[in-house]
Structure 1
Amino acid sequence: MVRVEANRRDFLRWLAAAGAGLATAGIAPAVFAQEAAAAGSDVVVVLGATVVDGTDGPPRPDWAVVLVGDRIAWTGPAAHLPSPTGVRTIDGRGRYLVPGLWDLHTHGLDLERVFPPLYLANGVTGIREMWGYTENRAARDKIVRGELAGPRVVMGSSIVDGPVSMLQPPVTKVATAAEARAAVRTAVAEGADFVKVYSYLGAEAFAAIADECRHAGLPFAGHWPYRVPQPAASDAGQHSLEHLFGVPLYTSAHRDEFLRTLAATPFDPANPRSFFVLARELDRRATETYSPWRAQQFFARLVGNGTRLTPTMVVNKVMCSPAGTFAHDPRLKYIPKDVRDNWAEQIRIRTPITPEEIAQQDAYFHAQVELAGAAHRAGVPLLAGTDCLNPYVFPGFSLHDELEHLVEAGLSPRRALQVATRDAAAFLGRSATAGTIAAGKVADLVLLDADPLADIGAIRRIDTVVAAGRVFGRAALDRMLADVAAATSAGANARSVGLPVHSCC
């Protein structure tokens, strides 16, 4: 096909005529083009890349994707595109274009000089922030207003836990159904996208949260509340269960014995973490008595309810490894000193020490990976999340690690990529606007130097990131990383507002 030179205005006219994809997305192509021309919206063409669009369709070599402002306006064979002048063109030849990634379990967005740029530099264009408080909401709002470069943010409520809690403020502690309902109403008033439930929440309060969330039309998600049977939490509508907590117990031949031990053990206000340590040890022991029959029953319950599992294998790996394993990770140069110090102290008291403990925890981690794979094969939807702000879990970088763990669990590279793109958007109710590369969807994209379907490790080889239509080429991404490293090297602390370094798990 002979390609005709087109200036910017002519190119938008062509787009209006060619915009069947926009019309399918419910956007009038002519109106879209007119408004884009009037507003002076940026027009960007990614030309010649192999598009891996996040669907089950085949890769599309030598494809073109046209972006106007923060939307994808057209996709199709590059040969069908008029040769544009007056618009920005990104050379995609020999590269692979994928949807922007989502990390669906994060903390610490309010570390504004560190976390938001690290997400973007690693192709993470959307996150689910799992602990909502004033400073996090302020950071989110800066991103929305364009004052801070960062990912799209789905914001949780304050964490809602029982009157005994492992957490320090700003946790919300509730003891009664009335207090639990009030916590949901506060979450609605604060603009939370979901309610985060936690480990020591009582059964009565949990039931009240589930009911109040139904009335408010607000999802709830989080840890397994130990005083609620996990299948019952799924039945009640808990949207996702984090970290595989309790999943080994419910897939064990000795399930009832383990659950009786937990039920007979009170939460200790003087040592609130002791119950969590017991539950984790029982989870470890439960992986040694895995029952395919129990697993089939349990996973079928989750599938029937649409409950997702967020394995967060990357943080599980850290907690199952000896203290020195990550002490020299080169990515530590991006982490403020107060966070590094906090990580070193947590690791010192929480990770295995003796050879026997190290062997046990290594086996435990690999059993968790196998358990995630078994859940996937049973049809349980998985989410890709990292739990960053926990020790040696790095914003952005660690999502790449998590995708590699998903492949280790038995997912194909395509399925692992879909978990962090298409499936993430579906979970968040955003399938119509995000998660795949199609006309009418948001312009969140990552251009890679290698094929992620051949090796999921290619997700690290980033040439360009597009976040809400803003283009960050490799030089800009390198400057972003250098600025973060310089800020932390100069002694920038995690927070200037006096909040402690807190992670939730």
Structure 2
Amino acid sequence: MRLLLPVLLLSAVAATPTIAAERDLYFGVTLVDPERETVTPKSYILVEDGRIVATGRGKPAAKGARRHDFTGLYALPGLIDTHAHVTLGPVDISVDKGVPKLRTLPSDDITAHNARMLLSFGVTTIRNPGGGTRENVAYARDVKAGRLAGPEMIYAAEIIDRGPFGFENLVTLVSPDRGPAAIVAEQAKAGASYVKLYSGLTEADIADAVKAADAHGLRTVAHLSSVSWQRAAELGVNSFVHMMPVSADLLPAATREAWRKDHRPGTYEFFEWYEAADLDGPEVRRLIATLAARKVHVDATLVAFQPAFWGDDPTLFERDIRYDHPAMVASWRRFRFDMGWKPADYARAKAVWPRVLDLTRRMYEAGVPMSIGTDQANPWIAPGLSVSREMALHQQAGIPAWAVLRMATSDAARLIGVGDRTGALRPGLEADILFIAADPRPDLDRVADVRAVVNNGTRLAPERLRAGK
């Protein structure tokens, strides 16, 4: 049973709009420290000028501080979603002279909605692995200047790919007169911290992009299929997204050519690859060992694939749409990962789902660096809330709760390069704090029961954020 809070406390939190932080004492809380794996009741957090200056037991005098009695609440570091396309809008599909034309339709209103929802569920930092360069630059600038309420964003610019057609506001295509190195240079100049590499790139493209990214001090994040994760890691790619390493080169030799010949293009490979893969085979074992040895970062985005695998069950994929922007929901009803799937496809997908969770657990147990990412902006992902859904799926995969909590906080902060500023409840770090109603360890879905958020020292009321206030 969830912990019931006093009515006065609930009223105080709900009635509190954004309050500029100067010196604030939060006391009576239970500190949950994923790094030390400790739970400490009757504790306090003292915040001054946007930073944590002290934590401890009891209720110190803290002269001049505003005092907040949060007795009964549990305090965690602010969450980090390492796969949040916060600036993307709905997908528009048209055909021009027989050629498909895809584009996203950016909207300031949708971006602001996503940002508020993320904050309302305690997400104070995100990695955005690809979006319109102009929109991502504007978001980072406006949040930093205080013109937009949202999580701090570490971002890639437009995704780099090859292909027969582009994806306006999301993808930049390599061309004979504009290769990967030139695109990377442009994105570095625009202020990106990451370069996103996509599945249509050749091995030579990836090598050129990695070399250019290293020269400009940028990290690389990749969504690949034809070029295997194994080869891309050897070429120096820093991180991969989605627990879908769907390359034929990672299949057993006995099934590899048949899969190349018979598998269907598109999203069917999400389950067809797992049907053909041998998770105990040398190809997958070598991949996992390589990722662990090279410290290549993976975010699994399980929550992005679960709605497709259960796409014949609307109760699952529509459970959280009240937190999504209506324009995004309307887009997803037209454009989904499981478009064209038949009943037999859903049955096959559900049958391999335990193998997806198994591979996730194997990577964790081997020491592959992992974080929590949702692929927010893709179908049926609720900004903020889906972070707790993703954490719960990792727990279902057999990963200990403490490890998953680190994946969503200190591990993620370190992996995306902000661990010196956030990711823990430690003096000297930014005051990014999540207050929830109950101990999250038995059931990580409890992380969604947010009662208050502190972002860079500023206290926020979740109800007001969700109401657009």
- Where do residues 470-485 of structure 1 align in structure 2 (5 Å cutoff)? 470-472=458-460, 476-483=461-468
Q: Which amino acid aligns with 1:365?
A: W
User: Partner of 2:101 in structure 1?
Assistant: none
Q: Is the 8 A contact 1:115 1:395 kept in 2?
A: yes
Name the one with the larger helix percent: 1
Q: Per the alignment, do residues 351 and 50 of structure 1 end up closer, same or farther by CA in structure 2, a change over 3 Å counting? A: farther
Q: Which amino acid aligns with 2:230?
A: P
Across the two proteins, how many residue pairs are aligned to each other?
428
2:256 to 252, 255, 258: 258
1:363 and 2:363 correspond: no
Q: Deviation at 1:377?
A: 1.2
Q: Per the alignment, do residues 260 and 194 of structure 1 end up closer, same or farther by CA in structure 2, a change over 3 Å counting? A: farther
Q: Per the alignment, do residues 458 and 163 of structure 1 end up closer, same or farther by CA in structure 2, a change over 3 Å counting? A: closer
Secondary structure at the counterpart of residue 450 of structure 1: coil
Q: Deviation at 1:368?
A: 0.7
Q: Deviation at 1:260?
A: 7.9
Distance in 2, matches of 1:250 and 1:450, equals: 45
Q: Which amino acid aligns with 2:222?
A: G
Q: Deviation at 1:182?
A: 0.4
- Where do residues 43-54 of structure 1 align in structure 2 (5 Å cutoff)? 43-54=23-34
Q: Which amino acid aligns with 2:198?
A: Y
User: Partner of 1:93 in structure 2?
Assistant: 71
Q: Is the 8 A contact 2:450 2:462 kept in 1?
A: no
* % identical equivalent positions: 25
Q: Deviation at 1:351?
A: 6.1
1:167 and 2:167 correspond: yes
Q: Which amino acid aligns with 2:81?
A: D
2:290 to 301, 319, 328: 301
User: Partner of 1:284 in structure 2?
Assistant: 274
Secondary structure at the counterpart of residue 157 of structure 1: coil
Q: Which amino acid aligns with 1:172?
A: T
Q: Deviation at 1:65?
A: 1.1
User: Partner of 1:4 in structure 2?
Assistant: none
- Where do residues 31-42 of structure 1 align in structure 2 (5 Å cutoff)? 42=22
1:69 and 2:57 correspond: no
Superposition TM-score, scaled by structure 1 size: 0.79
Secondary structure at the counterpart of residue 418 of structure 2: coil
Aligned-pair Cα RMSD in Å: 2.6
Q: Per the alignment, do residues 148 and 169 of structure 1 end up closer, same or farther by CA in structure 2, a change over 3 Å counting? A: closer
Q: Per the alignment, do residues 181 and 326 of structure 1 end up closer, same or farther by CA in structure 2, a change over 3 Å counting? A: farther
User: Partner of 1:135 in structure 2?
Assistant: 135
User: Partner of 1:106 in structure 2?
Assistant: 84
1:313 and 2:302 correspond: yes
Secondary structure at the counterpart of residue 331 of structure 2: helix
Q: Deviation at 1:113?
A: 3.1
Q: Is the 8 A contact 1:373 1:410 kept in 2?
A: yes
1:396 to 372, 384, 393: 384
Deviations 1:203-224 (A, max 9, x none): 2111100111111111111202
Distance in 2, matches of 1:256 and 1:163, equals: 30
Q: Is the 8 A contact 1:114 1:334 kept in 2?
A: no
Q: Which amino acid aligns with 1:258?
A: R
Question: Structure 2 unaligned runs (5+)?
Answer: 1-19, 88-107
Distance in 2, matches of 1:335 and 1:230, equals: 32
Superposition TM-score, scaled by structure 2 size: 0.84
Q: Deviation at 1:458?
A: 1.9
Q: Is the 8 A contact 1:72 1:443 kept in 2?
A: yes
Q: Per the alignment, do residues 65 and 349 of structure 1 end up closer, same or farther by CA in structure 2, a change over 3 Å counting? A: closer
Q: Is the 8 A contact 1:199 1:223 kept in 2?
A: yes
User: Partner of 2:156 in structure 1?
Assistant: 156
1:469 to 447, 457, 460: 457
User: Partner of 1:374 in structure 2?
Assistant: 362
Distance in 1, matches of 2:194 and 2:244, equals: 20
Q: Deviation at 1:61?
A: 1.9
User: Partner of 2:420 in structure 1?
Assistant: 432
Q: Deviation at 1:41?
A: 6.2
Secondary structure at the counterpart of residue 471 of structure 1: strand
Distance in 2, matches of 1:283 and 1:353, equals: 17
User: Partner of 1:346 in structure 2?
Assistant: 335
Distance in 2, matches of 1:442 and 1:468, equals: 6
Distance in 2, matches of 1:255 and 1:428, equals: 36
Q: Deviation at 1:429?
A: 2.1
User: Partner of 1:329 in structure 2?
Assistant: 318
Q: Is the 8 A contact 2:259 2:276 kept in 1?
A: no
Q: Per the alignment, do residues 240 and 176 of structure 1 end up closer, same or farther by CA in structure 2, a change over 3 Å counting? A: farther
Q: Which amino acid aligns with 1:439?
A: P
Q: Is the 8 A contact 2:228 2:250 kept in 1?
A: no
Q: Per the alignment, do residues 426 and 284 of structure 1 end up closer, same or farther by CA in structure 2, a change over 3 Å counting? A: same
User: Partner of 2:122 in structure 1?
Assistant: 123
Deviations 1:98-133 (A, max 9, x none): 100011011133523310000011011111112232
Q: Per the alignment, do residues 166 and 76 of structure 1 end up closer, same or farther by CA in structure 2, a change over 3 Å counting? A: same
Distance in 1, matches of 2:244 and 2:310, equals: 18
Q: Is the 8 A contact 1:316 1:365 kept in 2?
A: no
Q: Deviation at 1:364?
A: 2.4
Distance in 1, matches of 2:318 and 2:266, equals: 28
Q: Which amino acid aligns with 1:316?
A: F
- Which protein has greater RCO, CA pairs closer than 8 Å, 6+ apart? 2
Q: Is the 8 A contact 2:222 2:241 kept in 1?
A: yes
Q: Deviation at 1:250?
A: 6.2
Q: Deviation at 1:178?
A: 5.8
Q: Which amino acid aligns with 2:354?
A: H
More deviation, 430-439/87-96: 87-96
Q: Deviation at 1:349?
A: 5.5
User: Partner of 2:187 in structure 1?
Assistant: 187
Q: Per the alignment, do residues 166 and 119 of structure 1 end up closer, same or farther by CA in structure 2, a change over 3 Å counting? A: same
Secondary structure at the counterpart of residue 447 of structure 1: strand
Q: Which amino acid aligns with 1:138?
A: A
User: Partner of 1:244 in structure 2?
Assistant: 243
Q: Per the alignment, do residues 165 and 128 of structure 1 end up closer, same or farther by CA in structure 2, a change over 3 Å counting? A: farther
Q: Per the alignment, do residues 249 and 123 of structure 1 end up closer, same or farther by CA in structure 2, a change over 3 Å counting? A: farther
Q: Which amino acid aligns with 2:217?
A: G
Q: Deviation at 1:279?
A: 4.1
1:405 and 2:393 correspond: yes
1:229 and 2:214 correspond: no
